[in-house]
Amino acid sequence: MPSIAKPVAVHPSLHRNAIGLNLRDYEGAMSTLCAGCGHDSITAAITRAVWELSIEPHMIAKLSGIGCSSKTPTYFVSGAHGFNSAHGRMAAIATGASAANRELTYIGISGDGDSLSIGLGHLCHAIRRNVNMLYVIENNGVYGLTKGQFSASADVGSKSKRGEANRMAPIDPAMLALSIGATFVARSFSGDKEQLVPILKAGIAHHGFALIDVISPCVTFNDHNGSTKSYLYTRKHMQKITEADFVPPASEILANIGPSGTTTVTMHDGSVVRFTAIPPDYDPTNRQQVLNYLQQNHDSIATGLLYVDESVADLHEMNRTPAMSLARVPQEKLCPGTAALNELQEDFR
């Protein structure tokens, strides 16, 4: 990605996290996206989330495909290992990366073109494998880099900049993910950092594949009247159905004594996510209810942590791989040796 380095000047009053780093230590290069792009707000939210979680930058692997969204890993955590791969293939590459080294925190950034068209197959199967990663779809309903074609998330009737209306049914990543066994599904809005940051933190803490669909308006090609992914439309139609509060592991005991009417889910790492359901009967741990709710309320944009299940085996548990990274298992443990080969060959006689 073309990028512009930022001057590093740190004000002494900036807060430091548990490993002594301030927020600026988690920033990346200057964004080259259009001014006002929703993606930049998501970048800022991710930066804050990983800073608050005190993850060592070099223990983060940030991966992306191709598209405006896929440029954004350049703009956060410059100390992380980045992989800007090929259009739609990020989920597959992240799957292999995770298989080889489970010790890293994986953050995949994708867009609606990358995830819902060219890479749809890889996304679905990464969900099915429950690869332990945060997967963010920066969803603007449009192909930005190629100047304004509809994407597969464009709503029926939503108009392009030139006034043409989309007539094909959209793919809703949240509904799709829920229908194929996703274990963490959330939706948010780039313009609502307060909601987004705790959801990102919960997604990173989640044991398995965490899909976050973030409506992220494209100021250049899809922020006009007639668009259903504009700032105005999203603000008008957004309906928070849960409010999530992320409580890190150390504060677990306090977290469990939450206010009444809240649901708490203990994450794999001991952290706790506390939800307040806004429609009082909404249960984010009941897949069928969540699907029904989304189906019945498709006129509004339901946001919040929609669904979570912490109990499902992830890729490594399904495959019974060791706790350490496979890439670090020494050759002595991998190569059966000469004697075993000689013995085995008696079967080939």
**Footprint of another protein on this chain (CB under 8 A)?**
1-3, 56-59, 61, 63, 73-74, 78-86, 89, 92-101, 103-104, 121-122, 124-125, 129, 315-316, 319-323, 325-329, 331, 333-338, 340-342, 344-345, 348-349
Taking the complex as a whole, the smallest distance from the CB of residue 190 to another protein amounts, in Å, to 23
- 58/268 with CB nearer another protein: 58
Give the dihedral sign, CA 38/27/54/73: positive
**Helix (H, G, I), strand (E, B), or coil: what is residue 308?**
strand
Taking the complex as a whole, the smallest distance from the CB of residue 345 to another protein amounts, in Å, to 5
Torsion of CA 299, 219, 62, 177, to 10 degrees: 10
Q: Specify the residue for token string 């380095």.
A: 5
- 25/52 with CB nearer another protein: 25
**Helix (H, G, I), strand (E, B), or coil: what is residue 136?**
strand
Taking the complex as a whole, the smallest distance from the CB of residue 22 to another protein amounts, in Å, to 15
CB atoms under 10 Å from CB of 239, counted, come to 13
- Report the distance separating Cα 322 and Cα 316, nearest Å: 8
Q: How far apart are the first and last CA of the chain?
A: 57
Taking the complex as a whole, the smallest distance from the CB of residue 63 to another protein amounts, in Å, to 8
Residue 127 · residue 177 · CB < 8 Å:
yes
- 81/193 with CB nearer another protein: 81
CB contact burial 149-166 (16+ within 10 A = b; e otherwise): ebbbbbbeebbbbeeeeb
Phi, psi of 234 (to 5 degrees): -65, -45
- 13/342 with CB nearer another protein: 342
Question: Residues with Cβ < 8 Å from 156, sequence gap 6 or more?
Answer: 166, 167, 168, 169, 170
Residue 275 · residue 163 · CB < 8 Å:
no
Query: In whole angstroms, how far apart are CA 187 and each of 174, 177, 197, 210?
Result: 7, 12, 12, 11
- 262/325 with CB nearer another protein: 325
- 162/320 with CB nearer another protein: 320
Is residue 257 packed enough to be buried (19+ CB in 10 Å), middle (13-18) or exposed (0-12)?
A: exposed
Taking the complex as a whole, the smallest distance from the CB of residue 133 to another protein amounts, in Å, to 11
**Helix (H, G, I), strand (E, B), or coil: what is residue 238?**
strand
Taking the complex as a whole, the smallest distance from the CB of residue 33 to another protein amounts, in Å, to 14
Strands laid side by side in the 272-277 sheet: 242-247, 272-277, 262-266
Taking the complex as a whole, the smallest distance from the CB of residue 2 to another protein amounts, in Å, to 6
Taking the complex as a whole, the smallest distance from the CB of residue 304 to another protein amounts, in Å, to 30
Taking the complex as a whole, the smallest distance from the CB of residue 125 to another protein amounts, in Å, to 4
- 117/285 with CB nearer another protein: 117
- 80/204 with CB nearer another protein: 80
- 277/326 with CB nearer another protein: 326
Taking the complex as a whole, the smallest distance from the CB of residue 206 to another protein amounts, in Å, to 20
DSSP lists the bridge partners of residue 262 as 276
- Report the distance separating Cα 54 and Cα 249, nearest Å: 12
- 118/291 with CB nearer another protein: 118
